[in-house]
Amino acid sequence: MIAAALTGFATGFSLILAIGAQNAFVLRQGLLRSHVLPLCLLCSLSDAALIAAGVAGFGALAQALPWFPRAMSLAGAAFLVVYGAMRLQAAWRGDYALALAGESAALRPTLAMGAAFTWLNPHVYLDTLGLVGAVSTQFAGAEKAAFGVGATAASFAFFFALGFGARLLAPVMRSAEAWRRLDLLIALVMWTLALGLLRG
């Protein structure tokens, strides 16, 4: 069971490690030190639900609904384009008084944005329902459950390390120019991901 759990942890961690829209958003909130705990919980619990579905064998959703992956790709791309534009606009305006003061949007809009980054991202379904679900098929019974727990633990470890570890970068983010560069980088990441979704 330990081996299965470690395999699940390694699988989950390797899939979530890539810089993506969700990770960039969690990083930004971590730098702001705003709503970090509820946002990390939202992302981790969402991953847990999707991993559980994948391990339980619901990866056949895309086969049952052939239009589903493309619909998710289009919705996700539209969302990423809009959010990238918002970050570009923020960089253009250069008004980072609130960011420098450590203030951000209220809790509900922050969680709504976090939920959108999670549930409108087609890659999350590929990773959790598809890849994690596929790897889990080599296990059965208690070992399969241990695999799922390991993959879920990886999500919790990653998001909490990213969200709360971001404060270590706080000394670097004490100027409006640093925030402008971060927003430009986030906009570039968002649009690159959106282009990838549209091409896919």
Q: Output the tens digit of pLDDT for each of the chain's 200 residues.
A: 888 898 889 878 877 766 677 888 898 899 888 899 999 999 999 999 999 988 887 555 556 777 766 776 677 678 778 878 888 888 888 766 655 565 677 899 999 999 998 898 877 877 787 777 777 877 788 898 999 999 999 999 999 998 999 888 777 767 778 778 888 887 887 788 788 778 86
Q: Distance (Å, rounded) from C-alpha 114 to C-alpha 108?
A: 10
Q: Distance (Å, rounded) from C-alpha 24 to C-alpha 85?
A: 15
- Domain hosting 20: range is 2-199
For residue 39, the model assigns a pLDDT of 97
For residue range 86-117, list pLDDT tens digits in order: 888 888 887 666 555 656 778 999 999 999 98
Nearest alpha-carbon partner for 15 in 167, 192, 195, 155: 155
Instruction: Please list, in sequence order, all residues whose beta carbon lies within 8 angstroms of the beta carbon of residue 36, skipping any fewer than 6 positions away.
Output: 29, 30, 163, 164, 166
Q: Distance (Å, rounded) from C-alpha 188 to C-alpha 200?
A: 18
For residue 168, the model assigns a pLDDT of 85
- Angle between helix 21-32 and helix 176-199 axes, rounded to 10 deg: 160
Asked whether the CA dihedral 168, 189, 120, 108 is positive or negative, the reply is positive
Distance of alpha carbon 36 from the chain centroid:
14
The conformation of residue 126, written as its DSSP 8-state character, comes to: I
Tally of structural domains, the chain: 1
Could you tell me the pTM of the whole model? 0.74
The conformation of residue 105, written as its DSSP 8-state character, comes to: S
CB atoms within 10 A of CB 58: 14
For residue 62, the model assigns a pLDDT of 57
